[in-house]
Structure 1
Amino acid sequence: MTDEAKLQQTGEPPFPMARLKRRVRRDWAIFAVLFFVGALLVALGANRYGREVAVADLLAQGRTEINLKAALLRSVLERPRALPLVLSQDRDVSDALTTGSARDIDRLNRKLEALVSSTKAAVIYVTNSKGVAIASSNWQEQTSFVGSDYSFRAYFRDAMAHGTGEQFALGSVSNRPGLYISNRVVLGDAQLGVVVVKMEFEQLENDWRDSGRPAFITGPENVVLVTNMPSWRFMTVGRLDAAKAASLRESLQFGGAPLQPLPLRAEKPLVSDIKQTGVVLPGGGEASFIELMTGVATTHWVLHYLVPVQPTLGGSIGRALFVSFAFYIGLSVLAAIVMWRRQTNLFGQARAALARTELERRVRERTKDLSRARDLLQAEVSEHRNTEQRLKGVQQELVAANRLAILGQVAAGVAHEINQPLATIRAYAENARTFLERKKIESANENVGLIVDLTQRIATITDELRAFARKGRGSPEPVPLRNVLEGAVVLLTTRFAGRIEAIVIDLPDQDLNVLGNRIRLEQVFINLFQNALEALQDKAEARVEVSVKAAPTGVTVTVADNGPGIPAEIRDVLFTPFNTSKEQGLGLGLVITKEILADYGGTITVESDETGTRFAVTLKGA
């Protein structure tokens, strides 16, 4: 018979009250030991779980923020990159470099001064082939670059040697850091000089500074280039070896900066595989951060972003401890109630009222704890809603940054497509001048007429590229395919003189018409013929075979060359913007070609191996 059954039957406890009290004290002592051991285990588990949750939240938030900063930085970088290329082909630039007259230089100075305010560049200047600046947008200021020698700069040497160059450095005249983007100016076979555009990142650093979290960009030498911590500029990630540090100081790329290591130290991570860094703050004291890094597209830069561990870590651990202990205490209370009720039954009916009073008190305490937990949960839900609103605002800023990047791509496309007509115009203009010197007025008039036609062509290309940027379509019309192919060859004749004979066009006897616009279709085959001839420039028996095959549904034009073929890594991204194997290429020709064909219901495919490359273009018949 159990103690409870004997108590109900006789009304007396099964053993003396003193023994019962000793048993009760022993049971409660065991319960207390188990409770404290369990509390210690719960605290350790809640602490670990809180750390993992905090790190996960910090990583998610940090990755979102670093991706936004990287996207904004890319849009800022892409905006001015087309400017040196366009200016290198400007007539005012070549005139000033060729003649050196005060009138031409003054006109160029004023033109560069106007461009600075509209392009958001810091400074635009032009140097001669010896590196001396002859014109600058700041020509009227005390810190004018005119007359300064920049031949020691890497961006000047790279532009003269390879056509383009980029370098982040401290200005030797302005003493302000910035990214220098350069492009060589060529007239015929003569290298006249270099166009340089300097962009500064002061506004970007100010925007980053508003977040209150350290962020900085390092270059290939591990030197801090851009940062929202002014005292960190031109410090290094890790200590440079003496030879490399001496070389950087001698180049004056970073002025007289001591190139000391950043005040960072590695810490034991909260969670494995997560890099944690201790930082000595400028105002004194130290703080712990999670360090995130990402590469900056189209550069050799790395963006570093430090996310503070506190107060997120403390709050997450506190919430985990609160919830865990609330649950643990709840279970403990239930266990205590069960044990207590069993003991009260042994103490008899006399203790029943006291037991009910104690139970009600404990229930009120538990209800109070649950109410407090409910209030905290409501506050957390409100915080989540506020976070969603902030995220929407950040997404809108990202859309604006992407829009700026698209505008840069369209500008680069315009420069790419009008380059060929401009080269032809230049050739006709030089021929006309020769005919005038020889008094051959009729021949000169003929060349001038051709120049007028080509300027109209440039206007048409500009309109078509504007429609391409809006994803619009021109109205298709029947176009003789023979005229399209011959027109493309004519526009390439001047540039590829001596090699244009490599193009062999095999047309059927019957006249074939296709749907489209002649100017835009000529753009397609100019790009394909030009790519083929450039691939064959070093081949003795160069040959580009153009064949036409008519079908009931349309016409297929195949352009095949016997060049070295396209590497697999380039072929996979052949129709992706800004991917090219050419040193001076923009990577837009085949992108525009594919868009033009798509507008008129056509397609383009490519096959390439070591025997050559074959592009197949399909067009709708008319």
Structure 2
Amino acid sequence: MTRPPPPSIDAAPRTGNRRALAVLAAAWLVTSLVGAYAAGETARRDSETVLARQSENAAALHAAVLRSELEKYRSLPPAMATDADVARLLQEPDSTDATALNQRLEALADQTRASAIYVIAADGVTRAASNWRRHISFLGADYGFRPYFIKAMRDGAAEFFALGTVSGKPGLFLARRVVAPDGRALGVVVVKVEFDALEAEWRSSGEPAYVADPGGVILITSVPAWRFRTLRPMDAASRRLTLADQTLGHGALTPLNFRTPADGRSQIVEATVDDAPRPWMHASAKTATPGWTLHLLTPTRGAIETAVANARVIAALIITLVFGVLAVLLRRRQQTAARHRAAETARHDLEQRIVERTRALSEANAALNRQIEERMRAEASREALRDELVQAGKLAALGQIAAGVAHEINQPVAAIRTQAETAAAYLERDQAARAARALTRIGDLTARIGAITRELRAFSRKSEPGLAAVSVNEAIDGALLLLGGRLRQAGVRLIRNKDQDVVVMADRFRLEQVIVNLIQNALEALEGASSPVITLSARQDGDQVELIVADNGPGVSPEIREQLFTPFVTSKTTGLGLGLIISRDIVAAFNGELDLRPAENGAVFVMTLRSA
């Protein structure tokens, strides 16, 4: 079929189309610039909000850690202030040996990791200290001028952050007044807390943190150069007062190189850390100590700039995509009229092709259905053949065990005859009780013959495959009932573990057929052995049960082992090589596996079945 050529487009529509495309391009350019700028600013605000929330959470966590650290130490001064040994030392300093108390303070400082714990008498002289063994011992030092001593003696308790006069290391001094029973002030117990470990932990997080007092002086910080610097400039009077109170050098109390927001809101600041100025998100949180505020700088790591750039790019791409779609729609609308006639012709052509393809698919579908039916008939024939093969395997096994079963039946029959004659003799002698016992034994022997014949009939019966819960011990009992005579005639010792009975999903008589086949193979392998032994065992591993049949015969040669489960491969002169194939198919129908496990002596066959 010949398709008509597309219609021509004259010059006037072309000029109009170009003008529309030019207007669309100008609108795209303006919209892209405005949209990219608006999206960038929105992304900047969102990123700053998210970063501020994260920084506030981190600052609250730092404040909680600091609070926990301080609360651990704040309980020490009140406890020591009520200690009897401390009061005794302060009341009778000349007659009391402070060695025992020094040792207690030393042990307590080691346990709590306090920098120092010491006792100051009312005259300001230290009487006991945890660092009494060190060269910087506080013993005998006069701390009567220290603000924490003066305030504790006056108010009962004091907290003061300052440099140590002996150690020169900054720390928080927690003081509590020791009072005699008559209300007289005896002295002060002081615990010095240093924050080296806490500052090191903050430093390792990569987020500069610092704690400022009410005057804006930085006391605790992860940046050592910021210690005792201020958040804002201080006047001369405040500077002199702070230097006097904190016993600092004249190089301290200079403002930081960046402005710390005073309104408490999280915002971006430009700070120099490690000689590298860059933007940080500042957040603050109150601490448990009145007037102390924790400040935290979270690095932006370019996240805000990246978010702004990504937002602008995405906005530009979306706008470009929208205008691209509009351009495509415009172009398609222009081409719709020209393509209409060609589309109509193509539609008729397509309908014809659909009819032809439908016919071809119908023929292919019919051929496929015929193949499926043939496959189904072949599968049914294969299943029937497999069932016949299983039944043939049963009958072949019956032929091999017939002699043993005949021997098993002959013995009870002979015993029945003997017991019958014995019962008749007892009846002639008028010995009814003994005759009754002989008749009872005849009944037991008859029941044994019936059990053997029932098992033989059940084993030979052609059964429909079906899975049910089967006791492994019962299946083994049934197999041994058929093969017991052959085992005894061959002089084979049977080792069997019946302590634990396990239940598997299988068909009872087909499972017995597999066990009979494996035991018969073991019997044939043990012909001529000096001390033949067959071992039967079963063990459960989770939802799997392993039934093991092992012998101490010569085992399976490597040549046969490679093709053991291949049809018509056997080491027997009279065998067909189908017994193990049938057995494996039966076990596979139980959703299990039959395999030969490597062993040093003899052959070990393992059936793995699902537990019921």
| TM-score, length of structure 1 as denominator length | 0.51
- 2:297 is paired with a residue whose SS is strand
Q: 1:350 to 1:273 in 2, by over 3 A?
A: farther
Shift of 1:120: 1.9
Shift of 1:52: 1.7
- 1:33 is paired with a residue whose SS is helix
Distance 2:328 2:280 in 1: 46
- 1:27 is paired with a residue whose SS is helix
Distance 2:7 2:215 in 1: 90
Q: 1:338 to 1:273 in 2, by over 3 A?
A: farther
- Do the aligned partners of 1:92 and 1:107 also contact (CA within 8 Å) in 2? no
Q: 1:351 to 1:178 in 2, by over 3 A?
A: farther
Shift of 1:349: 8.9
Q: Aligned pair 1:335/2:329, yes or no?
A: no
Partner residue in 2 for 1:85? 78
- 2:229 is paired with a residue whose SS is coil
Residue deviations 1:580-611 (CA, integer Å, cap 9, x gap): xxxxxxxxxxxxxxxxxxxxxxxxxxxxxxxx
Matched AA of 1:320: A
The 5-angstrom pairing of residues 85-104 of structure 1 reads: 85-101=78-94, 104=97
Partner residue in 2 for 1:132? 125
- Do the aligned partners of 2:52 and 2:266 also contact (CA within 8 Å) in 1? no
Partner residue in 2 for 1:453? none
Q: 1:350 to 1:174 in 2, by over 3 A?
A: farther
Shift of 1:326: 3.5
The 5-angstrom pairing of residues 326-365 of structure 1 reads: 326-345=317-336
Shift of 1:147: 1.9
Q: Aligned pair 1:276/2:268, yes or no?
A: yes
- Identify which of 248, 251, 260 aligns with 2:242: 248
Partner residue in 2 for 1:106? 99
The 5-angstrom pairing of residues 195-594 of structure 1 reads: 195-265=189-259, 274-283=266-275, 285-345=276-336
- Do the aligned partners of 1:139 and 1:146 also contact (CA within 8 Å) in 2? yes
Shift of 1:10: 11
- 2:75 is paired with a residue whose SS is helix
Shift of 1:320: 2.2
- 2:98 is paired with a residue whose SS is helix
- Identify which of 43, 46, 65 aligns with 1:53: 46
Distance 1:11 1:119 in 2: 95
Whose Rg is larger? 2
Q: 1:207 to 1:112 in 2, by over 3 A?
A: same
Distance 1:351 1:312 in 2: 55
Shift of 1:274: 5.0
- Do the aligned partners of 1:170 and 1:255 also contact (CA within 8 Å) in 2? no
Matched AA of 1:288: P
Matched AA of 1:275: Q
Q: 1:48 to 1:12 in 2, by over 3 A?
A: same
Partner residue in 1 for 2:144? 151
Q: 1:319 to 1:12 in 2, by over 3 A?
A: closer
- 1:168 is paired with a residue whose SS is strand
- Do the aligned partners of 1:232 and 1:262 also contact (CA within 8 Å) in 2? yes
Q: 1:351 to 1:233 in 2, by over 3 A?
A: farther
- 2:284 is paired with a residue whose SS is strand
Distance 2:32 2:22 in 1: 15
Shift of 1:44: 1.1
Q: 1:10 to 1:124 in 2, by over 3 A?
A: closer
Residue deviations 1:531-575 (CA, integer Å, cap 9, x gap): xxxxxxxxxxxxxxxxxxxxxxxxxxxxxxxxxxxxxxxxxxxxx
Distance 2:293 2:137 in 1: 32
Shift of 1:99: 1.8
Distance 2:95 2:21 in 1: 102
- 1:237 is paired with a residue whose SS is coil
Q: 1:58 to 1:351 in 2, by over 3 A?
A: farther
**Structure 2 spans left out of the alignment, 5+ residues:** 344-612
Q: 1:93 to 1:125 in 2, by over 3 A?
A: same
Shift of 1:59: 1.7
Q: Aligned pair 1:183/2:176, yes or no?
A: yes
The count of aligned residue pairs is 338
- Do the aligned partners of 1:143 and 1:174 also contact (CA within 8 Å) in 2? yes
Shift of 1:290: 2.4
Shift of 1:286: 1.4
Partner residue in 2 for 1:591? none
- Do the aligned partners of 2:5 and 2:342 also contact (CA within 8 Å) in 1? no
- Do the aligned partners of 1:205 and 1:226 also contact (CA within 8 Å) in 2? yes
- Do the aligned partners of 2:32 and 2:315 also contact (CA within 8 Å) in 1? no
Matched AA of 1:295: K
- Do the aligned partners of 2:116 and 2:192 also contact (CA within 8 Å) in 1? yes
Distance 1:165 1:265 in 2: 31
- Identify which of 154, 161, 170 aligns with 1:161: 154
Q: 1:347 to 1:229 in 2, by over 3 A?
A: farther
- Do the aligned partners of 1:109 and 1:136 also contact (CA within 8 Å) in 2? yes
Shift of 1:24: 2.9
**Structure 1 spans left out of the alignment, 5+ residues:** 1-7, 353-622
- Do the aligned partners of 2:24 and 2:323 also contact (CA within 8 Å) in 1? no
- 1:155 is paired with a residue whose SS is helix
Distance 1:298 1:242 in 2: 26
- 1:141 is paired with a residue whose SS is coil
Distance 1:259 1:350 in 2: 89
Distance 1:157 1:175 in 2: 20
Q: 1:172 to 1:291 in 2, by over 3 A?
A: same
Residue deviations 1:4-46 (CA, integer Å, cap 9, x gap): xxxx999443xx43x4443333222211110011101110121
Matched AA of 2:208: P
Shift of 1:206: 1.1
Matched AA of 2:31: G
Distance 2:325 2:52 in 1: 39
Distance 2:147 2:58 in 1: 33
- Do the aligned partners of 1:133 and 1:145 also contact (CA within 8 Å) in 2? yes
Partner residue in 2 for 1:76? 69
Matched AA of 1:308: P
Distance 1:201 1:310 in 2: 28
Shift of 1:307: 2.2
Shift of 1:163: 0.7
Q: 1:348 to 1:324 in 2, by over 3 A?
A: same
- Larger mean Cα displacement after TM superposition, 131-140 or 98-107: 98-107
Shift of 1:299: 2.6
